[in-house]
Amino acid sequence: MEPKAQILVVDDEESMRRFFALTLEREGHRVQVADGVQEACQKLTTDSYDLILSDMRLGDGTGLDVLRTAKQRDPDAPVIMMTAYASAETAVEAMKLGAADYLSKPFNVDEVKIVVRNNLRTRSLVAENRALREQLEQAQKGRDLIFTSTPMARIVAMINRVAQMDTTVLVTGESGTGKEMIMRMIHQRSNRKDKPFVSVNCGALPENLFESELFGYEKGAFTGADRRKTGLFETAHRGIIFLDEIGEMPVPMQVKLLRTLQERTIRRVGGTEEVDVDVRILAATNRNLEQEVKEGRFREDLYYRINVIPIEVPPLRERPEDIPLLFHHFLKLCCERLGEGTKEITPAAIHHLENYDWPGNVRELENTVERLVVLTPGPIIDVEHLSPKIAASTRGQERMRIHIPENGMDLEGFLDDLRLQYMVASLERADGVQTKSCELLGMSFRSFRYYLTKAREAGKYDG
Name which of 54, 9, 1 is nearest 31 in CA terms. 9
Give me the pLDDT at residue 284, please: 98
Percent of the chain surpassing pLDDT 70: 91
pLDDT tier for residue 395 given thresholds of 50, 70 and 90: low
Q: Output 134 or 327, whichever has higher pLDDT.
A: 327
Q: Where in the chain is the domain with CATH 3.40.50.300?
A: 150-312
Give me the pLDDT at residue 400, please: 43
pLDDT tier for residue 3 given thresholds of 50, 70 and 90: low
Instruction: Evaluate if residue 15 carries a pLDDT over 50.
Output: yes
* Stretch 122-142: mean pLDDT: 56
Give me the pLDDT at residue 463, please: 73
Q: Which range in 25-34, 362-371, 400-409 is most confidently predicted, on average pLDDT?
A: 362-371
Angle at CA of residue 337, ends 335 and 341, nearest 5°? 30
Q: Output 173 or 401, whichever has higher pLDDT.
A: 173
pLDDT tier for residue 129 given thresholds of 50, 70 and 90: low
Q: Where in the chain is the domain with CATH 3.40.50.2300?
A: 6-126
Instruction: Return the CATH class of domain 317-398.
Output: mainly alpha
Quickly list H helices, 312-360: 323-338, 347-355
Q: How far is CA 276 from CA 235, 261, 279, 305, in A?
A: 12, 11, 10, 19
- CA 73 to mean position of chain CA atoms: 20
Q: Where in the chain is the domain with CATH 1.10.10?
A: 411-457
Q: Is 21 in contact with 31 (CB distance < 8 Å)?
A: yes
Give me the pLDDT at residue 139, please: 46
* Stretch 184-211: mean pLDDT: 93
Helix, strand, coil in percent for the chain, rounding step 5: 50, 15, 35
Q: Output 258 or 446, whichever has higher pLDDT.
A: 258
Give me the pLDDT at residue 42, please: 92
Q: For residue 12, count other CB atoms closer than 10 A to its CB.
A: 16
Helices 411-429 and 445-457, packing angle to 10 deg: 110
Q: How far is CA 334 from CA 96, 337, 342, 369, in A?
A: 50, 5, 10, 8
User: How confident is the prediction for the chain on average, in pLDDT?
Assistant: 87
Give me the pLDDT at residue 128, please: 60
Give me the pLDDT at residue 88, please: 56
* Stretch 4-22: mean pLDDT: 92
Q: Round to whole Å and give the CA distance between 3 and 5.
A: 6
Give the three-class secondary structure for 68.
helix
Give me the pLDDT at residue 1, please: 39
Q: Round to whole Å and give the CA distance between 212 and 96.
A: 48
Q: Where in the chain is the domain with CATH 1.10.8.60?
A: 317-398
Q: Is the domain 6-126 a CATH 1.10.760.10 member?
A: no
* Stretch 2-11: mean pLDDT: 83
pLDDT tier for residue 85 given thresholds of 50, 70 and 90: low
pLDDT tier for residue 390 given thresholds of 50, 70 and 90: very high
Give me the pLDDT at residue 96, please: 78
Give the three-class secondary structure for 109.
helix
Instruction: Say if strands 240-244 and 275-276 run parallel, antiparallel, or are unpaired.
Output: unpaired
Give me the pLDDT at residue 47, please: 83
Q: Output 125 or 260, whichever has higher pLDDT.
A: 260
Instruction: Evaluate if residue 131 carries a pLDDT over 80.
Output: no
Instruction: Evaluate if residue 324 carries a pLDDT over 80.
Output: yes
Instruction: Evaluate if residue 222 carries a pLDDT over 60.
Output: yes
Residues 6+ apart with CB under 8 A from 411: none
Query: What is the CATH architecture assignment of 150-312?
Result: 3-Layer(aba) Sandwich (3.40)
Give me the pLDDT at residue 101, please: 86
Q: Is the domain 411-457 a CATH 1.10.10 member?
A: yes
Instruction: Evaluate if residue 373 carries a pLDDT over 90.
Output: yes
Q: Round to whole Å and give the CA distance between 193 and 238.
A: 10
Instruction: Evaluate if residue 63 carries a pLDDT over 50.
Output: yes
Q: For residue 22, count other CB atoms closer than 10 A to its CB.
A: 11
